[in-house]
Amino acid sequence: MEITKLSTKGQIVIPEKLRSDLAVGEAFVVIKKENLLVLRKIEGLSKIEIQELEELQKIWNEIDEGNCKTSTKDEFIKEMESW
């Protein structure tokens, strides 16, 4: 058994001994029932889904590092229209 804590950002570190066969960016389903939390690996993701998860991780890292851009509603819509 290993012990871990919930961070102020809602993150939980999986102890090293338990994550030796896990890859960075691997996806999990989280199930909660009363005081029990279960992580279950999601297997069989397509290459596109894996790329989308990796891109999402990059975005979250930028947010966590404070490298975000703030826009007004009009600026945001104008940028979206350029896509």
Q: What is the pLDDT along the chain (83 residues), one digit of tens a residue?
A: 889 999 998 999 999 999 888 988 888 888 888 888 888 888 888 888 888 888 888 888 888 888 887 889 999 999 899 98
Residue 55: both structure tokens together: 């891109």
Please report the pLDDT score of residue 81 as a whole number.
93
Q: How many CA atoms lie within 13 A of 78 on its CB side?
A: 5
The residue ranges of every structural domain in the chain are 16-82
Residue 16: both structure tokens together: 């090293």
- Buried/exposed code over 11-22 (b: 16+ C-beta within 10 A; e: otherwise): eeeeeeeeeeee
Distance CA 71, CA 77 (A): 9
Q: Which of 66, 54, 50 is nearest to 9 (CA)?
A: 66
